[in-house]
Structure formats: C-alpha cells, structure tokens
Amino acid sequence: MQRLEAATGHISPYSFTSALQRNNVKKNRYRDILPFDANRVRLPLPNDYINASIVDSGTRRWIATQGPLDDTVNDFWELIYEHSSTIVMLCGFTEDRRPKCAAYFPTEVDQSLKGRDTARNIAWTVRCVSKSVDEESGAVIREFALERRRDSLPTQIKLIQHIHYETWPDHEATTIDQLRALIHRTIQIHDRTATSTTPMVVHCSAGCGRTGTFIALQALEEMPDQDVPDLVDKLRKQRIASVQSLAQFDLLCDFAKTLKAG
C-alpha cells in the first residue's frame, strides 16, 4: 500500500501541468511544444507562466523559448529583465507567409517600442541604440536600452544585446561556416557584456528545432568530443523536440566531424 501511494504521488519530470492550465494555454504558440514543469522559467506573479525552459548544455546555461506572440510580448521583456541580457533570434517575423514571431523590438536606431504590463503594473520602453551587420555570419547585431518603470519607483535601464540570424530555414540546416561565425560572435558579445553564469535567451518560432540545434552546436564547439545522440537526448529532456528534424541532426554530425578534423 505504501509503495502504491508513493507511486501515485510521483510527479513526472516531463509533466506540462502549468502549460496546460486554462489561463496559460493561449500563451503557447504551438499546442504540442510546451515547457516541462521541472525546468520552466518562472516570472514574477500574478501569473508566473511563460513558454520558456532553462537548459543546461553542459558548457553553458540557456533559456530556450518560443517566438513571442502579440499577447506575450510583455511577458517576454519581463523574462529578459529578470533573467538575461543577450537574445539570439533564429527566425524571421514571417516565413513562407506564416507568422513566426511577433514584432517585439524596434528594428532601426533611435526607434522605440512601448508597452504596459497592467497585471504587474509595469511600463516599459525598448529603444534601439545601435545596429550593425556581422559580415562573417550575416547576423544583424542590435543593442537595446530596456527602460522599466513600476509604480512610483525610479526608472530602471538595462542594456540588451540582440543577435538576429534569419537565414536559417525552419526544419532545415544552414551553412556550417556561418553557424561557427554566429556562435563565436554570440559568445564574444555575451561574455563581454554579462557574467558567465547569466543564461542567454535563444528562440526561433517554437523554441525547439533551430533553438535546440544552436544550443547543441555551441556545446559541441566547446566540447567537440561529445557523442551527438547523447547530447541531443540530454537537450530533449530539458526542452521538448530540441533538434527537431533529421536535417538538423545531420548538421550536428557534420559539425562535429568538422571540429574533429580541425
């Protein structure tokens, strides 16, 4: 009887209880890509849910998340304010005429985007401070000033680094040379502006295929002798469907071979 009660009370590390709550379902871009309860990111109350997962690649900590929806942009910027200062975006706003990510940031220098989180009584402004193109990777590098005001407290400002790489087709692979350049530039920017323990936020549309592949690529870059299937398995236990397609898995295998060949 005691064994039965213990088994009944067991909570699976792969449960999605929070993601499936009535108030949270609408915050998920895709109904089958959900964060596990055990390692989901928690926001300040009144509602702590966001479709985002803390991922440990073995070399660094990440936050893997979906591309924000129009109704979750407030939550996304609260996530950034609370947990990170570097964003890697691996998708376009639209792809093949389908929406993939809300327009959650200003694209040009001196432009601003404003929002109000009424549930948390927070007003925020994101202003584009600088913009450049990294020649080797083709990524657009932006710096944002995130201004956050709450009640009568003084305005708080946090600088955010944003790396946007949008030439990677969904469910497909891209060039190894560009990806290596992208990884090197991302790590260079992050390590210059944040502590090594601060997680980077990375997202595509669903936050699993390209996102998981990018995290795996970076892990291989720092530890090239890792077994690729084991690495993918480890990531999928933290974010569902990480490395979503055969093309992405093959890309990891080719990347590992390139690293070992020198």
Report the catalytic residues.
204
Give me Rg for the CA atoms of the chain. Answer: 19
Q: Residue 30 and residue 137: Cα distance in Å, rounded? A: 29
Q: To the nearest 5 percent, what fractions of the chain are helix, strand and coil?
A: 30, 25, 40
Read off φ and ψ for residue 131, nearest 5 degrees: -150, 135
Contact 107/116 with Cβ under 8 angstroms?
Answer: no
Q: Residue 128 and residue 26: Cα distance in Å, rounded? A: 29
* Residues linked to residue 116 through DSSP beta bridges, in sequence order: 123
Give the pair of three-digit tokens for residue 66. Answer: 């979906």
DSSP label at residue 66: P
Q: Closest by alpha carbon to 200, among 245, 163, 158?
A: 163
Helix ranges, the chain (H): 2-8, 22-25, 73-83, 176-193, 209-222, 228-236, 246-261
Q: Residue 188 and residue 191: Cα distance in Å, rounded? A: 5
Count the residues in the chain.
262
